[in-house]
Amino acid sequence: MKHLLPLTLILASCGPAKLDPESEIARNRKIMALQEKFDRFDYNADGGLTLAEVKQGVKESDVGGITNEEIVSLFKHYDVNKDGSISRWESQHAIDSPLPENQP
């Protein structure tokens, strides 16, 4: 059964049909994309993202329209255990967590 999930993802990516954003396939795609970005931003490869790594990743990704204060606020929100680092689990948990409503 373990091989069915990747096959499902491969087949779904080939078809022209639009995915329900709440479907399991759409969620798995988001997780895969998130893991890729997590690995890219984890510059020291320690398995966690520091605030400095997130800021550097955002800068290198040339993301516009996000302030330093917003990055800090989001980092604090998604650093669930408040240890100063966002773990892979915390980053995956972020997919299901709503964004904080009041950004500085």
Tell me the C-alpha distance between 104 and 102, whole Å.
Answer: 6
**Global confidence as pTM:** 0.67
Mean pLDDT, residues 74-102 taken together: 83
Q: Domain extents for the chain?
A: 45-104
Check pLDDT > 70 for residue 8. no
Amino acid, single-letter form, for residue 87: S
Which of 1.10.238.10, 3.90.1150.10, 3.40.50.920, 1.10.8.50 would CATH assign to domain 45-104? 1.10.238.10
Residue 60 contacts residue 41 (beta carbons within 8 Å):
no
**pLDDT above 70 (res 72):** yes
